[in-house]
Amino acid sequence: MIVVSNTTPIIAFAKINRLEILEYLFGRIYISEGVYKELISNKKFIFEIEQITKSSFIIVKEAKNRLAVELIQKMHGLNMGESESIILFKELGGDLLIMDEKKGRKVASSLDIELTGTLGILLKAKQEGIIIELKPILEKLIESNIRISHELYKEILKSANEMF
């Protein structure tokens, strides 16, 4: 399975020190050079950067079609990482794109790209027995300043059979 990720999901998993969930579920994750630069550029996240750079299952690949990247970026107002993730997905013949940003998801969806996000991955990890309980992980994400709407929080817990 070829899985490509954008920046935010990897940051989310690194912030809660659970990058291994991505490895357990997918084996490898491809990211574009732009995503890699976004991941390691903020020097106040040394702990997260260290995790990411030491993760051998995260493979950096160049999105070769620079014109397509630029067009998507300008036409849809996406950032470099989002644009490169979509183009890299297409170039690799990807099976799944991991992206949380609404605008990027909308563009990817319009291109018939199979999508999931951080919460979808956590739900899948729960269903496959990789994690036992979702609620503490969601709480840790929220404590780490990852935004999750109250409605989505309730919906994901209900899907995981943790809402009583």
Predicted confidence pLDDT, tens digits, the chain (164 residues): 999 999 999 999 999 999 999 999 999 999 999 999 999 987 777 888 889 999 999 999 999 999 999 999 999 999 999 999 999 999 999 999 999 999 999 999 999 999 999 999 999 999 999 999 999 999 999 998 888 989 999 999 999 988 75
Burial of 143 (0-12, 13-18, 19+ CB in 10 A): exposed
Q: How far apart are CA 9 and CA 13, in angstroms?
A: 6
Q: How far apart are CA 37 and CA 114, in angstroms?
A: 24
The dihedrals phi and psi of 76, each to the nearest 5 degrees, come to: -115, 0
Enumerate domains of the chain plus CATH numbers: 3-119 (3.40.50.1010)
pTM of the model: 0.92
Residues 52, 10: contact at Cβ < 8 Å?
Answer: yes
How confident is the model at residue 164, as a pLDDT? Answer: 57
